A and B are shown apart, each in its own frame.
Chain A
Amino acid sequence: MTGLFRSLIGVSALALAASSATAQTELRMMWYNDGVEGEVMETILERFEAEHPDITVTLDVVPYKAVLESLPIQLAAGEGPDIARVTDLGGLSPYYLDMTTYLSDPDYWRENFGPFLAWLDPDGSSISGFMTQLTVTGPYVNKTLFEQAGVEMPGEGATWDDWAAASREVAGALDIPIPMAWDRSGHRVAGPAISMGAKMFDPDGAPHLVDDGLKSMATTLYDWHQDGTMSKELWGSVSGSTYLGANEDFANAQVVMYMSGSWQVPQFAETIGDAFDWWAVPAPCGPAACSGMPGGAALVAMADTDHPEEVVTLMEYLSSEEVLAEFYGKTLFIPGHLGLAKGGVDFATDDPRASHALQTFAGAVPTISPVAYELQGYVNNRIMFNALISRLGEAIVGEMTLDQAFDRMSDDVAKQIAEKERE
């Protein structure tokens, strides 16, 4: 009996020791998907876990809306994930971990992610993450419909009005319900507004949303909704700053021209494939520029993590050139790594439409206005985007005049910034 008791004690002690030896650090990563990037990331994380048996990573895939609305609350409550994929790059910067002291080679990060690190830390020089994708806003057209209608696509230097007229002609000829659709997003409107001359900031650098350039673009959008160029179903059918995309309508050939951005490429390659020729075209021009908006998503480490060293180990692995080349290549994302951008990424597609779209968006980068970069780096840019979209939407459905909408936009921006700056 004593022998049995001793054996039991021994086995228990061994089990305890074994469990301590294999004790793992669990990291949680909040993630959303535009296309196939979640699957790609999962395979990369499996390899990481195999190489680092002491760390497990749980990928919490959530809707994009949760990243915008729930993540800030979680972070403010100190209950956020260790790492998250975010698009409000500057707005969430107070919650980021400065990884500089933990990194084995901070210069690698500065060299390859340099310009984008400032988006993550507008007031400092910390290193908190890297871009999982760079994006450029711009339009897609259904080239097949243009060919079927016998309408020539406007060429280089064409304006938004040229494209609107051509889209209306195609839609009229083929009975397509929506000539033109734009994502219901202030970010999408900002590039064209800047092309029309919007400055977004006053000479002192303070936000100044409503000026002649913005009024010009907003008035054009308003008119397009009234004359049927754009359907009120998208911009008029919801309230506030709710995001709505027309990607499904475009994929179903219900739209001739669709203003969105480079992140749609992998999705269109999958959902549309060769059903019709979906073609990315350069950003149409205005008097001031032919600009889209830069942007993108970043993977950032959070300061509230209990495991900063393990988080940095993972971030270093994910940001390595080899891993990022695989990630960008498989996801068809424009690289946010300068070395890879220069050297070129081997995109995993033989779809000529996807290749053309990626080239078009990459080629659009030099035409992006400096104002657009400044706006993208501005920490309160979502306040401006949301005020623009919500008030313009209310004017489009007739709840107020355009002038009243412009006044409300300015008030909304001023009020929200004042609220944020209360000490």
Chain B
Amino acid sequence: MAAQNEARAGLGARLTTAAGWPLRAAFRLLDVPLKVVQRLVGIRGMPWVFLLPNLAFFGIFVVIPVFINFGFSLTGGTQLFLTDRVYTGTEQYAFLLDCERFADPLTCREDRFWRGIYNTGFFIVFQVAFLVLFSLVTALVLNREIRARGFFRAVFFFPVLLSPVVVALIWKWILLRDGLLNAALVSLGFDKILFFVSPEWAMFWAIFVSIWAHMGFYTLILLAGLQAIPPDLYEAAEMDGTRPMRVFRRITLPLLWPTMVVVIVLALIKGVQIFDEVYVLTGGGPGTATQFIVQYIYNTAFTEQVQNFGLAAAASVVLGLVLFVLTMLQLAAARRRDAGESDG
């Protein structure tokens, strides 16, 4: 028996060796130019060489467009190319920020921009809070030894695989006047509700659908975080007879916190960028009740006869700054908490 196993292992090793031959040959081929590069840049420069492809990609598709966008925000007119456009300085920013009272969008010259800001603020407060809460609860449940755990994990993750447009269309069919939900309400003896005509209902469904569509992704991250917590801590707590709520507060939550910060920051950034689902679901309506900042930028740049790229770019810069500040605040809060915990 042992001889048979040895023979099998020997065969496996030979197969691995044979299969690995092309890889080894490729690495040997790479070895020569890399040694030359290392001689040129030195051992300390080598990490940069490996980072270069990613940095180049990031630079071309992220950093350079940010600067081009900033350039657009300092121009006016309808020309497409930056070099053809009229330099206006900070005029577009002044127009966006021209408000008598910032709390009342109607007193602002560009009222839709401010409505977009307030709608987005309202949206992210509720969407991020409930998204994180539901994801955490779901992750905690899926982390337990329950029947068909793999199936339920797949079920919760499935909406993430759908295109945002598909998600929005599915829910639109459910929520329309003659949709499934209204059919159910009528069959139970209630009146139909025109969900997309009421600002409150439209905002509720925008938040709900967004949570439904993205919860699986964040649940997965939190689940990974939960599984990284050493089980012996729970075993020790169990032996001490610690109550489950205390275990959650004293073990799970603190050890999950770094993962939670990642989830909150990601959810916050995604929340501020909300566009496609809500655009298809409510079209930003009723009125401007679910028109968020990204839709304002899109409308300003593309849907009007005068495509105002300058104003849209200025609004993008403001949005970028808001995102930057939010992320910094979030990270600072997380660091402070981490520091506090390590001190304590």
Q: Which of A72, A236, A383 makes the CB contact (< 8 A) with B286?
A: A236
- Which of these binds chain A: B33-41, B140-148, B225-233, B299-307? B299-307
A230–chain B nearest beta-carbon distance, Å: 12
B174–chain A nearest beta-carbon distance, Å: 15
Contact in complex: A383, B306 (CB < 8 Å): yes
C-alpha gap A382/B304 in the complex (Å): 8
* Given A232-B194, A240-B291, A398-B287, A423 and B305 contact (CB-CB distance below 8 Å): no
* Given A77-B80, A419-B308, A422-B77, A236 and B287 contact (CB-CB distance below 8 Å): yes
Contact in complex: B306, A237 (CB < 8 Å): no
Residues of A close to B288: CB separation below 8 A? 239-240, 394, 399
**Contact code string A412-423 (vs B, CB < 8 Å = 1, else 0):** 000011011011
Q: Total A-B residue pairs with C-beta atoms closer than 8 Å?
A: 113
C-alpha gap A408/B307 in the complex (Å): 18
Contact in complex: A419, B111 (CB < 8 Å): no
* Given A77-B80, A91-B305, A416-B305, A233 and B196 contact (CB-CB distance below 8 Å): yes
B199 at the interface (CB under 8 A from A): yes
Q: Which of A233, A380, A408, A422 makes the CB contact (< 8 A) with B197?
A: A233
Q: Is the interface of B mostly helix, strand, loop or mixed?
A: loop
Contact in complex: A239, B305 (CB < 8 Å): no
Nearest B residue to A88 via CB reads B305
B69 at the interface (CB under 8 A from A): no
**A-contacting residues, B257-303, CB 8 Å:** 282-291, 295, 299, 302-303
Contact in complex: A69, B302 (CB < 8 Å): yes
Contact in complex: A419, B283 (CB < 8 Å): no
Nearest A residue to B285 via CB reads A238
B106 at the interface (CB under 8 A from A): yes
C-alpha gap A382/B302 in the complex (Å): 13
B310–chain A nearest beta-carbon distance, Å: 8
A241 at the interface (CB under 8 A from B): yes
C-alpha gap A420/B307 in the complex (Å): 9
C-alpha gap A239/B292 in the complex (Å): 11
**Could you give 18 example pairs across A and B, Cβ below 8 Å?**
A69-B303, A72-B307, A73-B80, A232-B197, A233-B194, A238-B282, A239-B286, A239-B289, A240-B291, A240-B303, A241-B299, A241-B303, A383-B305, A386-B305, A400-B106, A416-B306, A416-B308, A423-B86
| Residues of B in contact with A (beta carbons under 8 Å apart) | 76-80, 86, 88, 106, 109, 111-112, 115, 177, 194, 196-197, 199, 202, 282-291, 295, 299, 302-308, 310-311
Beyond A240-B291, A420-B77, A422-B78, 4 extra complex contacts between A and B, CB < 8 Å: A237-B283, A239-B286, A416-B305, A419-B311
